[in-house]
Amino acid sequence: MRMLTTAVNTLLKRENSLLQRHGFAHVVAQRTNSVHQTETKVPKIPPFSYSPPPYDGPSTGEIIAKRREFLSPALFHFYNTPLNIVEGKKQYVFDDTGRRYLDAFGGIATVSCGHSHPEVVESVIKQLKLIQHSTTLYLNHTISDFAEALVSTLPGDLKVVFFTNSGTEANELAMMMARLYTGCNDVVSLRNSYHGNAAATMGATAQSNWKFNVVQSGVHHAINPDPYRGIFGSDGEKYARDVHDLIQFGTSGQVAGFIGESIQAIGGIVELAPGYLPAAYDIVRRAGGVCIADEVQSGFARTGTHFWGFQSHDVIPDIVTMAKGIGNGIPLGAVVTTPEIAGVLSRRFYFNTFGGNPMCTAAGHAVLRVIQEEKLQENAFLVGSHLKRRLTQLKDRYELIGDVRGRGLMLGVEFVTDRDLKTPAKLETLHLMDQMKEMGVLVGKGGFYGNVFRITPPLCFTLHDADFLVDVMDHALSKICITEHINNKVSLLCFSSESETCGAKVKRVVIKSEVLEVAVEKEEKLQENAFLVGSHLKRRLTQLKDRYELIGDVRGRGLMLGVEFVTDRDLKTPAKLETLHLMDQMKEMGVLVGKGGFYGNVFRITPPLCFTLHDADFLVDVMDHALSKM
Ligand SMILES: Cc1ncc(COP(=O)(O)O)c(C=O)c1O
CB atoms within 10 A of CB 286: 10
C-alpha 213 to ligand 1 mean position (Å): 19
pTM over 0.85: no
Residue 57 pLDDT greater than 60, yes or no = yes
- Mean pLDDT of the 449-470 span: 98
Ligand 1 pocket test: pick from 111, 296, 302 the residue with the most ligand atoms within 8 Å of its Cβ. Answer: 296
- Mean pLDDT of the 367-374 span: 98
Model pLDDT for residues 93-118, shown as the tens digit of each residue? 999 999 999 999 999 999 999 999 99
C-alpha 120 to ligand 1 mean position (Å): 22
Q: Which atom of ligand 1 is nearest to the CA of 324?
A: 10
- The secondary structure of 488-544, three-state, reads CEEEEEECCCCCCCCCCCCCEEEEHHHHHHHHHHHCCCHHHHHHHHHHHHHHHHHHH
C-alpha 534 to ligand 1 mean position (Å): 44
Model pLDDT for residues 291-313, shown as the tens digit of each residue? 999 999 999 999 999 999 999 99
The enclosing H or E element of 291 equals strand 290-294
C-alpha 196 to ligand 1 mean position (Å): 5
Which residue, 471, 473, 454, 452, is CA-closest to 463?
471
Q: Which atom of ligand 1 is nearest to the CA of 168?
A: 11
C-alpha 318, offset from chain centre? 30
Contact indicator for 594, 607 with CB cutoff of 8 Å: no
% of the chain residues with pLDDT over 70: 87
Q: Is the dihedral of CA 436, 440, 445, 450 positive or negative?
A: positive
C-alpha 97 to ligand 1 mean position (Å): 31
Contact indicator for 436, 83 with CB cutoff of 8 Å: no
Which band of pLDDT confidence, cut at 50, 70 and 90, is reported for residue 481?
low
d(CA 266, CA 412): 10
Query: What is the b/e burial string over 435-447, where b = at least 16 CB atoms within 10 angstroms of the residue's CB?
Result: bbbebbbbbbbbb
Contact indicator for 500, 511 with CB cutoff of 8 Å: no
Ligand 1 pocket test: pick from 164, 262, 324 the residue with the most ligand atoms within 8 Å of its Cβ. Answer: 324
The enclosing H or E element of 473 equals helix 463-479
Residue 230 confidence (pLDDT): 97
Q: Which atom of ligand 1 is nearest to the CA of 108?
A: 14
Q: Which atom of ligand 1 is nearest to the CA of 298?
A: 1
- Mean pLDDT of the 121-140 span: 96
Which residue, 343, 315, 380, is CA-closest to 155?
315
Atom 11, ligand 1: residue with shortest CA distance: 168
Model pLDDT for residues 245-292, shown as the tens digit of each residue? 999 999 999 999 999 999 999 999 999 999 999 999 999 999 999 999
Residue 501 pLDDT greater than 50, yes or no = no
C-alpha 201 to ligand 1 mean position (Å): 9
Q: Which atom of ligand 1 is nearest to the CA of 196?
A: 6
C-alpha 552 to ligand 1 mean position (Å): 48
d(CA 378, CA 307): 10
Name the H helices within 199-275.
199-204, 236-250
Residue 524 confidence (pLDDT): 75
Residue 508 confidence (pLDDT): 31
Any residues with Cβ below 6 Å from ligand 1, and which? 108, 166-168, 171, 194-196, 261, 265-266, 294, 296-297, 323
C-alpha 520 to ligand 1 mean position (Å): 50
Residue 630 confidence (pLDDT): 87
C-alpha 108 to ligand 1 mean position (Å): 9
